[in-house]
Structure 1
Amino acid sequence: MNGQGLTVGGPRQRAILSALLLSANQVVSFDSLIENVWNGRPPSTARTQVAICIATLRKIFRSAGWSRETIITAAPGYMLNLAGHTLDSLRFEHLVGKATELTAENRPTEAAAALREALALWHGPALGGVYAPFAETEAARLNEQRMLAVEQHMALRLQLGEHQAILSALQALVGACPLRDRIRYYLMLAQYRSGRRAEALTTFRDGMRHSIEEIGLELGADLQSLHNSILRDEFPQLDVPGISASQSEKQQSAPCQLPESDACFIGRSHDQWLMNEALLDGSPQNPVPIAYITGSPGIGKTSLAVNWAHRVAHRFPDGQLFADLRQGEPLDVLHQFLRQLGAEGPLPTQTAEASELYRTMLEGKRVLVILDHASSYARLRHLLPGNGECCVLITGQANLDELLQKYRALRLRIGPLSDEESRELLAGVLRDTRADESHEATEQLSALCGHMPLMLRAAAAKLLTKQHWRVLDLVRRLERSGDRLAELSMGDDSLRARLDHSLRELDPEAASAYRELSRLDNADFEAAEAAKVLGTDLLDAEDLIETLVDAQLLEVVGRSPWGEMRYRWQELVRLHAVHSLSATPREASLAD
């Protein structure tokens, strides 16, 4: 409500609420609820426990400001009353039905828009965090409905000539669902129409090998027929229905550069509500609506930006642009954006001229621009649209004061997840009951991970590779480990790698201060304590500390009773600083 999520307690409460939601506005009997929760093996106190769960759920709804009774007692059980409220699942079904009707009326553009809105309602796996046989059955049904809608959406976008725009999405879908022939068919078609004939043939060969190895069958007749048509370059049969080859080549589809959305994204509901208010409703005082998401490394800035962008993509019919600003100069990004927007021929070689063309091409369009990992306003300013129809989402750790002053941008500093959100994330990645078996162990693991999404995912990944481990086994291992960051570093995109990058971005004096301040006995400290460790006067120590605060490596936690500013290390950041100090001789660090 008002952008706030509801925190529901243990597995029984979630199972009961799920059963009521799946039968919204219908009475669900006591016996059915008991069967759903205990799967035919209820304790003698089952009816009492169900009643307690219902009372707790009612209290949760009331505390969230729902004035009307949401769960009604109705013989022989309970009913969840949706009066005045909506369910995403019901809205999804309505939009899919509407898209089917529009498709039958030969209105593909409107049908695709309806499906895009429907698919944006999905924020993760169906019934995530509910572990019961009835929920698994319903989740499988809902997920299949989602995949059918995805296939229908891809077919429509192919019909509209958007084959290049959907290539990356189709490749990701084939990777996730290699045995869905219809998705592979659409990928091969999109590859061929995009001039990637060899890739289309490789996609077929990969599918044939996978199908034989997994189920002992060759690919279906439709895929084999398509393969033969590609081999013979039978372009008329492979063209977009209702569009001639020349029209298809000239048509410029809206760019869709959003990375894959995080299937296990958790929390941040209030932040997303604030982003809706700032970016979607608009403000006449702002030339361009802008939100800047900032926070420490690994806290989930990009994940929040991409998840929100997928949810609201239908509000930007002219496309979505995405750039990782760590890769390439502003001119490179401008060239990438200009090509996506349909610019042809030679492009300007000066950043200012390319920016002017970029803003001209965006004039009158409604495009969402995501600029990831911004390090300075200087690297941003040429990438900002010139009108209020577009909006911009930026992530990074820098201060960007000039941006915030000039554009009155929304600044969101996101922090660690809550205990419940951390548990839900672990459970969502694990997809088993281990996160719920011992709440104490799960809370310990979450704390050891600093409630940071990146570390929690790494911990869950560790448990996925060790199916015989309990959560407590990993907790004990991390508590004994002399290097927790190394224990949970999996691949190149680890928290240690991100903190290493942040350290390299600091000037030598600030980098030295980062390492030396890890010598302090307490995670909380004042500037006077820091000055002693750094061997500087108070003002110089404060300047160095504020540089680390601006880089999201230290936090301000208020003032002491005598008025001195107090600062705090996040535990995992401090561990990294300690490791960096031990890897750098004191003499060398002071000489930086």
Structure 2
Amino acid sequence: MQYGLLGPLEVRTDQGELALGGERNRRLLAALLLNANRMVSIQQLIEATWGEHPPATARAQVQNRASSLRRLLRAAGDGTDLLVPKGTGYLINVADGQLDLQRVDNAVARAEVLVGAGRIDEASRLLTHAISLWRGPALDGLDSPHLQTTAEHLEERRLAILERRIELDLELGRHVKVVSELNRLVVAQPYRERLRALLMLALYGSGRHAEALDVFRRTRRQLIDQLGVEPGPELQQLHERLLSGGVDADKLLRPPSARVPDVPVPAIAEVRPAQLPGAPGLLVGRTDQIRQLDGLLQGSRAGASACVGVIWGAAGVGKTALAVHWAHKTRSHFPDGQLYVDLRGFDPAGRPVAATEALHGFLEALHIPAQHIPVDLDGRTALYRSIVADRRIMVVLDNARDAEQVRPLLPGAAGCLAMVTSRSRLDGLLATHAARPVMLDVFTAGEAVDFLTERLGAERTHPDMDAVEAVADACARLPLALAIVAGRAAVHPDFPLAEVCRELWDGRDRLDALAVEDPASDPRAVFSWSYGALGAPAARLFRLLGTVPGPDISAMAAANLAGLPLRTTRVLLAELTRASLLIEHVPARYTFHDLLRAYAGELGRTVDTESDRRDARHRLLDHYVHTACTAALMLDPQREPTVLEPPREGVDVHQLPDRAQAFEWFAAEYQVLLSAVHRAGDGFEAHAWQLSWALATFCTKRGLWEDQAATQRTALAGALRTGDIVRQAVSHRLCARAYTMMGRQDEACDHYQQALAMYDSLGDTGGAAVVRLGLARVYECRQKHDAALEQALLGLELFRQADDAYGQALALNAIGWNCGLLGRHEDALFYCGQALVLVRGLGDLYGEAGVRDSLGFAYHNLGRHPEAMECYQRALRLYRESGDRYGEADVLVHLGDSHQASGSPHHASDAWLAAVAILDDLRHPDADQVRGRLTGANNLPVR
């Protein structure tokens, strides 16, 4: 079964075109197909069929005609009912690719992904195919005002796709080819200024400069004579640039697309994400707010862009519960899917979710493979909006901090809806996106009583309504507090409500520092009541958890915090979870609400001695430090260990069995470890330094240079306070390495010079040698290869004085590499050959990867490409096994060079695209140099 809307309405089977009956049957089917796979209400079908003046029997006629069409489609197909009743209307089931409009949407979305991958010619062909799907004017012959409006929109879409295809052709240098086509289009669309601009660019790129300028003169005269207006800003600015000769005729002036690897592009039309959390079991009141939200549905259908709603109010008033309840209630209006993310905008224990991270999750939910996801914010936003264009998708953005966090996540297409919850009103969104605010406050007195009655049952509340009202008042009618109270009371059905009320009021002044934004909404008593029901060991653990850095904690870390066996701690964590004071958000990792965290911290300061709290913190940091340092050496066995004090009694170091487990541990604890470094002052400077030392290995492997620089700055500050010169030197050196990889060479050089002075004062020739190699890298990045070679030679001499075989291998490799950069390729083979003997003798596979890469570079420049590619392939495998992403990218660049030189441009492009993807993800400045290779630039190699 094939359906066509882009021309006269048609339905085709293997036996030919179906006879659909009269005009109104065709209008009805067209309205259903325009909303394929989603419910269309009977009222909408009436409007599409008769317009504003339907007959009295319109509803019955729609039902009769729908039944007739259902029988027709069932008979023409395999006997399955394709047109079915749904809710208050009907739905037609259309498989992906059966409807021409679907095929256009898929082609356009796929084309934009191809553009991002640099495959412009394929994208142009795909858009040409999309345009060819129009068999004539869309919905031709259907004389309905409602459908004619849609037909006009589809014609606008056709022209937009055509303009985009011409843009791509101009990027490909096909200026002469498109001139005649544009001349015809300009005649057919005399007031469409974008077509005039494209014609000017095509003529200019064809060498017909005077004609390009004449297009503007004629356009301006026509607009003034016929409409009384001047040309728009785009056309005027283009005219000025043509006059000045400032247009690059080979490229349109538009932001560069994000690059992604050259791999098959996925089909997306069939993907319908369903990310909404479970619907709340109970929602009391909120009638006015739900009515306001219902009004957004009309906006999502009628607007020219996505409709945006903002539910705002104080913490704990039930913003998320309302948003999720309404999203489930209305999800049938958004049959193409529902996306959800908790942006953690007001989580004091961790950073808000970045828009790039949230977009990554959305694109994964839309089944975009990781290698297709751009690395930058603009690229992800563009791909996301391309995919959801012309689809009906709901996006719930929960717990947003500000408008800037939200804007990239808003879909741009009409028919979509974004629901944002926040403690702020987000005035920026009200101004820029006409967002509709829905203010949420605490319950009214009646709603609070209704809430407790629904949760506890009328048989328990009606006998003592005075107590119910008093409980509601004691909770300040805050939904969060009411929910906790009701849950606790339900677990203990024999507790009199009057006693519950007395407990709440008695504890009312115990949490002054924990007021939410509404001063009358104080959850202190609710938390204390739940806390009071805990056993003493669980209560102590709860208090200690208030001191934990980072967003969550593992069960093993919690055991070290408490100084208890892991098995015992798991029992206590389960008790806290059952009491709703803790959440196991992933297996064996626990977190809690920011109010509960603050409450736990305040209790700890009140109940526990400072000595007890400090001992707990010391145990936790010992656990992190000893595990992290052990894991770091598993990731890089050649690294010189740092000296650690023995862990305190009762500390359990995580025994990691292998390198893969070490990577997984770092990944799981990464945010916690970062927070621990920055919060480890007050006498724990040594722990902060040791954690930053351990994190440097993981950061290097993952290319997390900004985090590495930040942690080393914190570590350096601590080492300065304690006067530890050795640690200062190491921190300067590691900070310099991060700055080097970030492209901040001046700062890197400054840190290296300070480290060198310290190592010289200490008489540490090995440390000075490492710095010399770091300075060699800085000079290399500055294209000062003679200076880089000099530093590498100095490093070799120092490593020989220190009798450091591994260091000598590193230095010999650096010497060989810089010889290669200076064109001394035979010398490069000599030095790198010596390095290879050393690293293989040491069994250092990671070091061997670097040496193999250098050897490959020398072979490549000597024209010995098979040997070069063999070296690169071995180096690539070793870097991937070690998890070094920058090393992997570096080798991919060189491998691409050898493929290009040996006459395999497609393989070269594959390698370079993969390298760009990694370098962009690492935010490394070398990415732009590699892009130059993809456009034919002859850049120097990167290292």
Q: Give TM-score scaled by structure 1 length.
A: 0.42
Name the larger-Rg structure: 2
Higher helix share: 2
Q: Give TM-score scaled by structure 2 length.
A: 0.27
Greater relative CO, 1 or 2 (CA 8 Å, sep 6+): 1
